[in-house]
Each structure stands twice: as C-alpha cells, then as structure tokens.
Amino acid sequence: MRDVAIVSFATSGSLPAVEDTETQMLFPVISEAIERSGIPRADIGFTCSGSADYLAGTPFAFVGNLEAVGAWPPISESHVDMDGAWALYEAWVRLQHGDVDVALAFSSGISSRSDLREVLCLQNDPYYVMPLWADHGSLAGLQARAAADAGLIPEADASVGTPPASDGAAAVILVAGDRAREVCERPAWIRGIEHRTDPHYLGVRDLTEVPSAEAAGLGDAPVEVAQLSAAHPHEEVLLRRALGLGDEVEVHTGADPLMVSGLVHIGEAFRQINENGRRRTVGHASSGACLQQNLVCVLEGDA
Amino acid sequence: MTDTADTTEGPVRFMPQLIGLDYTIRTNPVAAAFGAALAEGHITGHRCPSCQRVYSPPKGYCPICCVATGADDLVEVADRGLITSWTVLTPIQYAGQKEREDYALASILLDGADGTIGQQRLVEVPLDEIRMGLRVEAVWAPPGEREGDDRGYGLGTAVSGWRPTGEPDAPPSAYQDHTL
C-alpha cells in the first residue's frame, strides 16, 4: 500500500442559511485547502467530491460545483452521494493506483433550503420505513430508547431533539509518498481507513450496537483524540463502545453540517496532529438512519 | 392503500407513493445584482481580473482561473449577439404542458461576453432558417415586468425572446470556439 497523508484542510464551519450558491460557498474553501497545501492546483491528479442533490434541490448540482475546482483543462474527478469522508476514501483508493500523487477531496451541503425531516425520509427502506415519514430525529429517538432500555445511557438522554441543519463545506488535500513531507511539516498519515454498512432495514438491526463501526474500526489501536460524527449523546455512547474508546481518549462530537461533518471530523483529526502535535487520532463519519453506515479513519503523525 | 394485480407469476401488490419535497430558493448577491440590472434594461457580467474573460450572467468567480469576482469586476454586455447553437423542441402534450407548437431555444454569444447564455427563446424567425452566426437582438419585456431568475441562471422574464436583427451573419471565426 502507498502511504497517503492529509497535508491540508479547510472548512467554512457550520453556517446559518447561506444565500450563496453551493458552488460559491465551496469556492473559498477549496482555494484555501489548496493554498494551505502549497501544491499548485494543476498538480492535483484526482478530485472527488461528496454532496447530495436532494439537499440542493437541483439535479446534477454536483457537476456545477466543479467550477470551484477549476475543471479546465479537463480534470479526472468523481463524486459520491455521501459525506465528504467517503470522497476522501475514494481519493485514497485512487492514490493507491500509483500514477498520481495528489488528490483533492471536498464536500458541501446546503441543508437550509429544505426540511431535512422530510428529505432524509427518502433514504430509508422504501417499502416499510419510508411511508412512515419517520424523521431522522424520531429514528434516533428509537435508538436512544433502545440504548436506555439496555442500560447504556441515562433515561434523560433517551429523549432526543431534531439535530441542527447548518450549511457548510470542507476540503482536504491528500498526498502520497514522500512528497507529503516536502510540502507539509507534519502531515497526518492515513494508517487505516475503512467503511462498513449495517442492514438498511431498521427492523433487522439491534439498535444498541453499531457493528459496522466496530468492523471498520480501531481494533486494539490506541488513539489520543477521537472525532465522532455523533449527533446525540446516545450516539456517542454507542460509538465509544463500538470503537473501544476508553475514558482517556479526548472525544469531540457533532454531525452537522450534513454531507460535511464526517470530512470535518477527519480534518480536525488531521489538525490535532498537524497543529497540536498529537501522534494518533481518529476521524469518524456516519451516514443513514441510526448510524447505519460508518467510516473510520486513523491518522498518525511522524514520531 | 394498496392495489393487487394478478400476473402470470401470481398476485403483485402495488403501493402508490406520492412524494413531494419543498425547497426554498435563496438568491445569492451576485444573482440579485444581475437581476436588478436586468430590471433596468442592462445585461451585465463579471470580467475575470486574471484572464479578462467576461461571464454573463456572472458567477462570482472565474471557473478557468479560479479567481473570485465581484462588484469591482462588473461590466455591461450588449443585448445583442449571435447564435452559437440551438435546439428545436417539439412539446410533448403532457398534462400541464403550456407549449403547443414547435419552438427553438438557442445559446447566444452576446457582444462583449466570452461565454454563451443558454436556453434563450428565438422569435420572429422560421425554425428552418435558424443558423449558427445568425445575429439576434433582445426583445425586452416592458419595464416593471422584468423579473430576474431567482438563481441568476438566465434572464428570467426580462427578455421574452431574441429576434434576428437583419444584419449579415457573423463569420465562423466568431462562433467556432463556442460549441454550446
């Protein structure tokens, strides 16, 4: 396997309802990630983005977003209808091929134009769950209830509210091999990255467990900081258990903005190494109802 | 609420599902300024400070140079130009279709702009006489009836169509670099 590192990260942060187009919102974030990397835009060998046209309310919105990348001369690019963490994963896979050394992964989400309580219903099983129009807060509540009944969380955390729905964007630059050390004083090497998914249909899942997070996860590896895509206290508890995170691990949580927070968590895990001198961190991303899909990315700084 | 139909493979259950999602459109500042100028009868664009290309409608950046553009880069382009490409549409008469006759939408390279503006309605020209290089001018809606597109993609209702000016066609060199 080629060693791949994150060498830069930029994010808009969580924004209240933006007036900008998705492309306009992305433009400064991508530019900042590229500038921070010190690598010329023309050296990017592969680009992958994460976004959901259902948020934008516009088919092929992700195609227009490439104007923020600069797609002339033509570039090699791909897109995932997922959080940017999965775009980072695809970029990592692409770099393994060995013919390109630099990749850009980014994502964006404008949740403020629609009601996520409706939009996210469409990601559920269309036969038995979607017709219930159970919003993501209510489904999270089912998992919280299951966790409380199993004694995993206090009763007070069994009641969940509708999560925030901000707008935002994030971008990272990945570099393979020694070039990462040439452009970055303290790159964050991707020591492990994996994603797994649990069954789509809620009825066959044990909501007190997150097998896909455990399967994708840390194993016995120690980390100092964990950035978890947990929207609610019970999700943090369940993820800590699945990933085997002890009390000594510094944990940061949040799952907002949609499509971006996972990539932001990995970016923050990078910053912990790059700026705060940490040695080993993990960024986690999640997708689907009740932590159905999970991506885990373990980062390591040079000793 | 389900229907059941018998097929050769046995009964199949149908479940009708009508899904509607509501979206709130917000108009970005670049598009809002473009729409305000349209209401006054001006078609504007942004000139990239790096490559000098003019984009109309403006985007707020140059997608070639990846440089942000703003009010400092504002220019006006003409309300006349030439056709680079076009499509003749035959409207399918689905429920709600408002069009009845064949009509043409064209990409127009406005004088002063470096990119075309698409989906523009052609009027006062027989469909079989439309051609690349045909010089056209805007048919403006009356003042007060000019509403910009809420996302700044086109000209909204400000221009109801484009008609030939009667001038000689533009030469191929004027449009050969614009395929769309």
Q: What is the pLDDT of residues B33-86, one digit of tens each?
A: 999 999 999 999 999 999 999 999 999 999 999 999 999 999 999 999 999 999
Helix, strand, coil percentages, rounded to 5, for chain A:
40, 25, 40
Does residue A272 belong to any structural domain of this protein?
yes
* Structure confidence at residue B6 as a pLDDT band (50, 70, 90): confident
Mean pLDDT value of segment B141-169: 93
Cα of A43 to nearest chain B Cα, Å? 15
Quick check: A24 and B22 CB within 8 A? no
Give the pLDDT score at B11.
Answer: 84
Cα of B167 to nearest chain A Cα, Å? 34
Cα of B152 to nearest chain A Cα, Å? 10
* Structure confidence at residue B150 as a pLDDT band (50, 70, 90): confident
Whether residues A202 and A274 fall in one domain: yes
Name the token pair of B24: 């709130």
Does residue A163 belong to any structural domain of this protein?
no
Taking the C-alpha atoms of residue A156 and residue A150, their distance in angstroms, rounded to an integer, is 14
Whether residues A23 and A72 fall in one domain: yes
Give the pLDDT score at A99.
Answer: 96
Give the pLDDT score at B18.
Answer: 79
Whether residues A83 and A225 fall in one domain: no
Is it the case that residue B2 has pLDDT exceeding 80? no
Whether residues A105 and A208 fall in one domain: no
Quick check: B19 and A122 CB within 8 A? yes
Structural element, H or E, at residue A144: helix A136-149
Contact A27, A41 (CB under 8 A): no
Whether residues A266 and A198 fall in one domain: yes
Q: Where are the alpha helices (DSSP H) in B29-78?
A: 29-39
Beta strands in chain A (DSSP E): 4-11, 46-50, 77-80, 102-110, 167-176, 188-197, 225-228, 250-253, 280-287, 293-301
Cα of A79 to nearest chain B Cα, Å? 19
Whether residues A105 and A13 fall in one domain: yes
Mean pLDDT across chain B: 93
Give the pLDDT score at B72.
Answer: 97
Give the pLDDT score at B153.
Answer: 83
Does residue A197 belong to any structural domain of this protein?
yes
Residue A84: closest CA among A298, A283, A236, A300: A283
Quick check: A27 and B23 CB within 8 A? no
Does residue A78 belong to any structural domain of this protein?
yes
pTM of the model as a whole: 0.93
Query: Does A127 contact chain B (CB < 8 Å)?
Result: yes
Whether residues A207 and A293 fall in one domain: yes
Give the pLDDT score at B81.
Answer: 98
- The count of domains in chain A is 3
Name the token pair of A257: 């903005």
Quick check: A113 and B64 CB within 8 A? no
Whether residues A173 and A219 fall in one domain: no
Give the pLDDT score at B5.
Answer: 77
Quick check: B68 and A27 CB within 8 A? yes
User: What residue numbers bound the domain in which A280 lies?
Assistant: 189-301
Question: Is the model more confident about B179 or about B27?
Answer: B27
CATH at residue A12: 3.40.47.10
Query: Does A189 contact chain B (CB < 8 Å)?
Result: no
Quick check: A113 and B29 CB within 8 A? no
Residues 73-102 in A contacting B (C-alpha not used; CB under 8 Å)? none
Does residue A261 belong to any structural domain of this protein?
yes
Quick check: A114 and B23 CB within 8 A? yes
Residues 128-187 in A contacting B (C-alpha not used; CB under 8 Å)? 130-131
Give the pLDDT score at A303.
Answer: 79
Residues A93-103: tens digit of each pLDDT: 999 999 999 99
Is it the case that residue B180 has pLDDT exceeding 80? no
Give the pLDDT score at A219.
Answer: 76
Residues of chain A with pLDDT under 50: none
